[in-house]
């Protein structure tokens, strides 16, 4: 999976998703309310991860730092096979 050597950032997460052919429409790394996507957002003082659907934020979890939020989003994405791009 992801190396445990060091904190994960949004940039590292994006690169990881690109390498594993995760559909870019399945997630947003800068907040917002995309249609049917997992979202990472920095809402001072927390980082939050939620699922956005029709403008609603469901399953929101708050984290004290970017690393933990990124790792949670990574777990959600990897456990959802619908997030992969078709070959």
Least confident residue range of 10-24, 38-52, 73-87: 73-87
Query: Of the candidates 12, 7, 28, 42, which has an alpha carbon nearest to the alpha carbon of residue 76?
Result: 28
pLDDT exceeds cutoff 60 at 33: yes
Query: What pLDDT is recorded for position 1?
Result: 47
Residue 7 reports pLDDT greater than 60: yes
User: What pTM did the predictor assign?
Assistant: 0.90
DSSP 63: E
Model confidence over 15-24: pLDDT tens digits?
999 999 999 9
Query: Helical H runs in the chain?
Result: 10-19, 66-78
- Confidence bin at 61 (pLDDT 50/70/90): very high
For the chain, which residues make up each domain, given as ranges? Answer: 10-55+62-82
Would you place residue 55 in the very low, low, confident or very high pLDDT band (cuts 50, 70, 90)? confident
């Amino acid at each position: 999976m992801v190396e445990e050597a060091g904190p994960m950032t949004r940039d590292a997460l994006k690169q990881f998703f690109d390498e594993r052919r995760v559909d870019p429409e399945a997630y947003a790394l800068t907040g917002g309310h995309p249609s049917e996507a997992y979202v990472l957002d920095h809402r001072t003082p927390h980082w939050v991860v939620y699922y956005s659907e029709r403008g609603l934020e469901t399953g929101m979890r708050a984290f004290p730092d970017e690393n933990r939020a990124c790792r949670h989003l990574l777990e959600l994405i990897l456990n959802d096979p619908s997030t992969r791009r078709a070959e």
